[in-house]
């Protein structure tokens, strides 16, 4: 009988924001607009970078990959969330939940490493300008991007398998907006201390280490910029770096608080809000932060849209 109870959970019910029954249609509309904005904004960044030869530099190569990553990252979560709002069906099978979690973890790890690569690129450009063209060549840039995409795959697949090898019993109500590690461990039976230790270890490896590297890079970058003569060069360097730091603060800030805070402070409501920061808010603001604050991107966008030609005519 005990064994039968351990295998009774065949699917989860994602609670999401269903404690707000009167706002389901409004939330569906809001998240639809957000998802469309992410697709169009990041897609436009990719098109602008690809079609303008003046933007075929390492910085924009990484930014184009980052925009593509943001589209993939949100597409793991938002379409399912929108379908749940539309159909009022919150059920998700264990297999679908495992697939969603696996892709979420892999793409999350990729984002951490890619942000670190972008910080390294700015470090080399500002702190080691003479070596920059030699070190950040096309081959190196491709290797850094490919490494960012694939290095987290085996670890995150292993972590997903480890979590879903646990028996789930009792409640199948997942009090979150998507399948995530900590809410799933809450539903697991038996001792999950080893699994929680693995979660912290992976979080340190894939979140804390890149974050510390980014911090070290920008300490050196800021020190170098402050030693530059006052002028446009300094302002442009500060503008480029501040854009990257805003994205880093949004993504890593919410991620670190979510995965590395003490278990005793766990709150489903807080986790739902924090999870939206690193899965939805950052992808929405990415095109605005890197695009509208970047004169090169704005000029390229005007060329593509023909704004300058119309103005001249």
What region, left, alpha or beta, does residue 190 occupy, with left being phi > 0 and alpha being psi -120 to 50 degrees?
left
Both tokens of residue 302?
Answer: 């005007």
**Domain range 2-312, CATH class:** mainly alpha
Predicted TM-score of the model (pTM): 0.87
Q: Are 283 and 38 in contact (CB under 8 A)?
A: yes
Q: b/e string for 36-61 if b means 16 or more Cβ within 10 A? A: eebbebbebbbebbeebeebebbbbb
* Neighbour tally for 183: CB within 10 Å: 22
Task: For 5-25, write each residue's pLDDT tens digit.
Answer: 445 677 888 888 777 777 888
Burial class (CB in 10 A: 0-12, 13-18, 19+), 256: middle
pLDDT tens profile 241-281: 777 788 888 888 887 777 777 666 667 677 788 888 888 88
312: pLDDT strictly greater than 60 = no
What are the structural domain ranges in the chain? 2-312
Could you tell me which of 258, 244, 242 has the C-alpha nearest to residue 117?
A: 244
Q: How far apart are the first and last CA of the chain?
A: 81
Instruction: Flag whether pLDDT at 313 surpasses 70.
Output: no
Please provide the average confidence, as pLDDT, over all residues in the chain.
84
Q: Which residues pair with 174 in a beta bridge?
A: 14
């Amino acid at each position: 009988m005990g064994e039968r109870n351990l295998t009774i959970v065949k699917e989860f019910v994602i609670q999401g924001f269903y404690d707000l029954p009167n706002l389901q249609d409004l939330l569906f509309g809001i998240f639809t607009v957000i998802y469309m904005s992410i697709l169009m904004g990041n897609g436009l960044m990719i098109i602008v970078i690809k079609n303008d030869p003046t933007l075929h530099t390492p910085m924009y190569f990484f930014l184009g990959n980052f925009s593509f990553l943001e589209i993939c990252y949100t597409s793991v979560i938002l379409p399912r969330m929108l379908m749940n709002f539309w159909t009022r069906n919150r059920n998700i099978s264990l297999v679908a939940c495992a697939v969603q979690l696996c892709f979420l973890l892999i793409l999350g790890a990729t984002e951490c490493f890619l942000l670190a690569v972008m910080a390294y690129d700015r470090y080399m450009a500002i702190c080691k300008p003479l070596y920059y063209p030699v070190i950040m060549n096309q081959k190196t840039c491709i290797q850094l991007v490919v490494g960012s995409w694939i290095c987290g795959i085996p670890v995150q697949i292993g972590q997903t398998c480890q979590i879903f090898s646990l028996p789930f019993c009792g409640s199948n109500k997942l009090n979150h907006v998507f399948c995530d590690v900590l809410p799933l461990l809450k539903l697991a039976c038996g001792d999950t201390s080893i699994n929680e230790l693995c979660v912290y270890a992976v979080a340190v490896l894939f979140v804390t280490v890149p974050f510390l590297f980014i911090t070290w890079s920008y300490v050196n970058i800021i020190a170098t910029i402050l030693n530059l003569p006052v002028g446009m060069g300094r302002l442009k360097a500060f503008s480029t770096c501040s854009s990257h730091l805003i994205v880093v603060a949004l993504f890593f800030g919410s991620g670190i608080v979510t995965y590395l805070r003490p278990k005793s402070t766990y709150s489903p409501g807080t986790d739902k809000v924090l999870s939206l920061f690193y899965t939805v808010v950052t992808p929405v603001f990415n095109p605005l932060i890197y695009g509208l604050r970047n004169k090169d991107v704005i000029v390229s966008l005007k060329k593509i849209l023909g704004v300058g030609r119309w103005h001249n005519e």
